[in-house]
Amino acid sequence: MIIFNATLSARSRASIARLQSELATAQDELSSGRRADIGKALGSRSIVAAQLRGQIGKSQAILDANRVASARLDATQVALGSLTSLAQSMQQKVLGAGAGTVDAGTLTEEARAAIDQAISIVNSTFDGAYLFTGLGAGKALNLFAGGPAAAINAAFQAKFGANPGDAANGAISSDQMQSFLDTEFSGLFDDANWTSVWSNASDASPEARISETISIENSTTANEQGIRDLLGALTMVAGLGLQSLDARTAQTVVASAAAKLGGALSELATMQAETGIKQNMIDDASNEVTSRQVAFKGRLDEFESVDPAEVSVRISTLSAQLQASYQVTSKLAQLSLVNFI
């Protein structure tokens, strides 16, 4: 009898342990709304569930990357807007100089400050990387006081035999200055000189994959024509010694600068529009990816979610079985050989 009683007690304890485990699992499922053991519950269908989880994770990675790419383009738009405002302000001042309401000395100083400001804007960063460098390294543009200023002075001296600002430059005619602006000066902003004197940027920008099938360049670079024209116009005013030139020759410089600023504004507007198109593409792609992710999650729920009502019934059943097992174990513990003597 003692051996029989011990065997029953062991079986009862094992039953209690099993019921406790099943009850804990059921309570976890009711709390989370998900199956505790997907592989056991789904069998071979768990492969499909794993594939769906992979698609959901892949979609989330794209959405996270899109948020970064969108923020980078937002920063690019802010920078382009600042360059546009700077160009508009200088255009008004240059036109004022043409009308005789702004003197050459004041205009020169304002243009020099505008060059530094423009370079600072183009050298702005986002998330630790330069916005307008593209695939290049370091700052997008060199400081004007370095290579660019020296290149301007060298070209001017080679053409006219004097440095900008020298008194002898009063003899430079309007036609001579126009020829310089159209050839030697303009050449300082062509592809070869721009990338060797002014810019460290590449023409290509980093690509962002905004959906499973679409990738875009997620920024613009300092090599765009709008930025070249803006700095070209500002350099005309700031770097050619307006005060030392004949009045008519100075007006030639001012008129050329005004025209180039107009071109810069047009190009900057195009850059802003192209950036806006990319922003819209990211928004559209993110909406599409989100819709697909919702669909994937819906299908996954069909595999992994539990019926709260069914789990509640299972918990009640297990609780009742566990209580009964406790009672059996208690009664077995009370049995002894004395009861049968």
Flag whether 103 is in a domain.
yes
Q: Using an 8 Å Cβ cutoff, are 161 and 94 in contact?
A: no
Give the chain's residues under pLDDT 70: 1-46, 98-102, 303-311, 313-314, 318-320, 322, 324-341
With a pLDDT cut of 90, the percent of the chain lying above it is 63
Task: Dump strand ranges (E) for the chain.
Answer: 125-126, 129-130, 207-209, 215-217
Q: Which helix (H) or strand (E) holds 266?
A: helix 247-304
What are the pLDDT digits (tens) for 195-240? 999 999 999 888 899 998 999 988 899 999 999 999 999 999 999 9
Flag whether 27 is in a domain.
no
What are the pLDDT digits (tens) for 164-187? 999 999 999 999 999 999 999 999
Query: Which residues touch 20 (CB under 8 Å, ≥6 apart)?
Result: 322
This prediction has a pTM of: 0.79
Flag whether 3 is in a domain.
no
Q: Which domain holds residue 228?
A: 52-295
Q: Which helix (H) or strand (E) holds 160?
A: helix 147-160
Domain count of the fold of the chain: 1
Flag whether 21 is in a domain.
no
Flag whether 269 is in a domain.
yes
